[in-house]
């Protein structure tokens, strides 16, 4: 089974930046999706950003548009989430997810899309 390992979480003050990385254990066939999700205590898990491999197309939840950027390095089997202008409400456990083949031809923020999940990395933003 595909394994995903996140890193890059930590504590930062509001307005700061963090870059999360997600390394997968192997190559994927074309047409896969990868995404970043987050879950804060007492809240449901939500999709933050996703990328569709074939076209590099991306999608973001409204609250992070203009602040977060998802990207990939196919040669290194890695997906990144650059998080800028962080806010306290961005504090959560962040999870990387992947699935192949992607059931859609566009990036998906729906949890049901994804078959493989990482263990998560904690992000804490203080005011």
List, for residues 22-65, the tens digit of each pLDDT value. Answer: 999 977 787 899 999 999 999 999 999 999 988 889 999 999 99
Residue 94 has φ and ψ, to the nearest 5°, of -105, 130
Confidence of residue 10 (pLDDT cuts 50, 70, 90): very high
Residue with more model confidence, 100 or 69? 69
Q: Are strands 4-7 and 33-39 parallel, antiparallel or unpaired?
A: unpaired
Question: In this model, does residue 90 exceed pLDDT 90?
Answer: yes
Quote the mean pLDDT of the chain.
95
E-assigned strand segments in 2-91: 4-7, 10-13, 18-24, 33-39, 46-52, 57-60, 68-73, 78-83
- Which pLDDT band, with edges at 50, 70 and 90, does 103 fall under? confident
DSSP-derived secondary structure letter, 76: G
| Model confidence at 84: pLDDT above 90 | yes
Structure-block tokens of residue 62: 């409204």
> With left for phi above 0 and alpha for psi between -120 and 50, is residue 112 left, alpha or beta?
alpha
pLDDT at residue 1, as a whole number: 84
- Residue 26: its pLDDT value, please? 78
Distance CA 24, CA 20 (A): 13
């Amino acid at each position: 089974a595909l394994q995903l390992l996140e890193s890059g979480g930590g504590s930062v003050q509001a307005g700061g930046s963090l870059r999360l990385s997600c390394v997968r254990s192997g190559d994927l066939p074309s047409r896969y999706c990868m995404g970043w999700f987050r879950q804060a205590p007492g809240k449901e898990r939500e999709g933050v950003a996703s990328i569709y491999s074939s076209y590099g197309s991306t999608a973001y939840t409204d609250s992070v548009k203009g602040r977060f950027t998802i990207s990939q390095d196919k040669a290194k089997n890695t997906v990144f989430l650059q998080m800028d202008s962080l806010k306290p409400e961005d504090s959560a456990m962040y999870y990387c997810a992947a699935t192949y083949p992607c059931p859609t031809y566009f990036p998906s923020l729906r949890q049901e899309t994804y078959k493989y999940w990482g263990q998560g990395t904690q992000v804490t933003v203080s005011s």
